[in-house]
Amino acid sequence: MYSEFDLDKIDLSAIPPAEEPDRQYYFMAKCREWIRGFEEKNGRIPSCCVTTFGCQMNARDSEKLVGILRRVGYQVTESEDADFVIFNTCTVRDNANQRVYGRLGELKSRKKRNPDMKIALCGCMMQESAVIEKLRTSYRFVDLVFGTHNIFKFAELLCRSFEEQGMIVDIWENTDQIVEDLPVERKYPFKSGINIMFGCNNFCSYCIVPYVRGRERSREPEDILQEIRQLAAEGVVEVMLLGQNVNSYGKNLKEPMTFAELLREVEKIEGVERIRFMTSHPKDLSEELIQVMKESRKICRHLHLPLQSGSTRILERMNRRYTKEQYLALAEKIRREIPDIAITTDIIVGFPGETMEDVEETIDVIRRVKYDNAFTFIYSKRTGTPAAAMENQVPEAQVREGFDRVLKVVQDTAREQVARYQSQRAQVLVEEVNEHDEKLLTGRMSNNTLVHFPGTVELVGRILTESRDECQRF
Ligand code: SAM
Ligand code: SF4
């Protein structure tokens, strides 16, 4: 099997290997030849910029794209004034799509000034056929379009875009393939996301994810553990295990394994100091997981437990498969077993048929669970999902009113919760120099609270003990 260190040894006169990941290493070597040609012609290294929209899954996918771009010879920049710009898109809510179209308009004028510039689009939005139609008709200047299922083929597609003229579109409907051992370029040297599974089988009635990310597929535990051991050897101290519903990890493996069992194995890896994960579907959160969290030294004191709605009637229409009472009982059990845990959540306001009484039910849950933080979203109609065809879409004014009420309670509760940590000493992983004040550092407590305190850049990546009196929370 090839690795990133073999690129110069690959025989490009041979036919491309059929097996992955060797095939992609072959195309990386080929792309490298193209980039060398660019350097000779222009007397400089070409630049690239990967812009990520959406969730941590997309952020991780972007690290994989950057890994390949760097290996083939691009210089990575933050500026979209680059020779190659990729938008890794999200389509969970319609405003994410609209932002991509707006930003594409800006890229069009850049490409007019630099006709050799390349533009690629990938990610969840590309899995929607209406989007592809629109790109083909109104955004002909885009060079390469690919989806979520064939992202591992990026090097091959990049190579094609060097060799062919016109827009290349390669979208797969689905896949059961997981390609391991491709290069990744981490954004942070000291922490990393790790995909433990892909796709989702839950079909919440408002959500487009199962349609654009496909069915649930778990990675083999040994592949995950080997990746984490390697990360730890490279100095990573915090890992975040990623999946749309980590609580159903391992169910479709040849030798099934629970998520809690996987966590126990990750805990044993030397060098890893902190373990995070997201997202946990409440219906699948097991007693075993609570016990593993409780006993663990390394699993962070934070659980993201999406509620979506506090009304059992709406939860049923959302196909969430738990009731208000079941959710409350679960949250209570978690707080009882792990008293220092922070619980955060996602809430949707304005789901079809939602009344102000339903919103009050949601507010009741927020007050009772006392969330440390919550992401509150206005319901967005996604074509193709069951909710989009439901009657009783909620009038905008009512949605706004409900949203403002929910937001106010979320903010009040979060403020009360954070006051709990006042005067306590807590461990903080220093993540970066503060964006607004270079005399301050920004770090994260185990419970995911961001704190800012005086310090200098050498401390980035270290776990320190800080007193909350000296910290500010933004
Ligand atoms: N799999 C995770 C889960 O079940 O919580 C999260 C997936 S989704 C990318 C993140 C959040 O987006 C969801 O928890 C939900 O609150 C929100 N979301 C999904 N579809 C939405 C829609 N159509 N309108 C508004 N918010 C939506
Ligand atoms: Fe979407 Fe529900 Fe799957 Fe989360 S669990 S990705 S909200 S369908």
Tell me the pTM.
Answer: 0.95
Per-residue pLDDT at 402: 98
User: How many other C-beta atoms lie within 10 A of the C-beta of residue 265?
Assistant: 14
Cβ–Cβ under 8 Å, residues 8 and 73: no
**Which ligand is closest to the CA of 213, given by its number?**
2
Q: What is the rounded distance in angstroms from the CA atom of residue 445 to the CA atom of residue 76?
A: 30
Which of 244, 318, 345, 347 to mutate to test ligand 2, by most ligand atoms within 8 A of the CB atom? Answer: 244
Residue 472 scores a pLDDT above 70: no
pLDDT averaged over the chain? 95
Per-residue pLDDT at 421: 77
**Which ligand is closest to the CA of 348, given by its number?**
1
Q: Encode pLDDT of 347-392 as tens digits.
A: 999 999 999 999 999 999 999 999 999 999 999 999 999 999 999 9
- What pLDDT band is residue 468 in, cutting at 50, 70 and 90? low
Which of 246, 346, 378 to mutate to test ligand 1, by most ligand atoms within 8 A of the CB atom? Answer: 346
Per-residue pLDDT at 103: 96
209 lines ligand 2 (CB under 6 A): yes
CB proximity list for 364: less than 8 A, separation 6 or greater: 310
Q: What is the rounded distance in angstroms from the CA atom of residue 238 to the CA atom of residue 262?
A: 16
244 lines ligand 2 (CB under 6 A): yes
248 lines ligand 1 (CB under 6 A): no
215 lines ligand 2 (CB under 6 A): no
- What pLDDT band is residue 8 in, cutting at 50, 70 and 90? confident
386 lines ligand 2 (CB under 6 A): no
Residue 23 scores a pLDDT above 60: yes
306 lines ligand 1 (CB under 6 A): yes
Which of 248, 249, 348 to mutate to test ligand 1, by most ligand atoms within 8 A of the CB atom? Answer: 348
Q: Encode pLDDT of 95-143 as tens digits.
A: 999 999 999 999 999 999 998 899 999 999 999 999 999 999 999 999 9
155 lines ligand 1 (CB under 6 A): no
- What pLDDT band is residue 473 in, cutting at 50, 70 and 90? very low
Per-residue pLDDT at 10: 92
**Which ligand is closest to the CA of 351, given by its number?**
1
Over residues 184-204, the mean pLDDT reads 96
Which of 207, 215, 315, 347 to mutate to test ligand 2, by most ligand atoms within 8 A of the CB atom? Answer: 207
247 lines ligand 1 (CB under 6 A): no
State percent of the chain over pLDDT 70: 98
Amino acid at 48: C
Q: Encode pLDDT of 298-317 as tens digits.
A: 999 999 999 999 999 999 99
376 lines ligand 1 (CB under 6 A): no
207 CA distance to ligand 1 middle (Å): 6
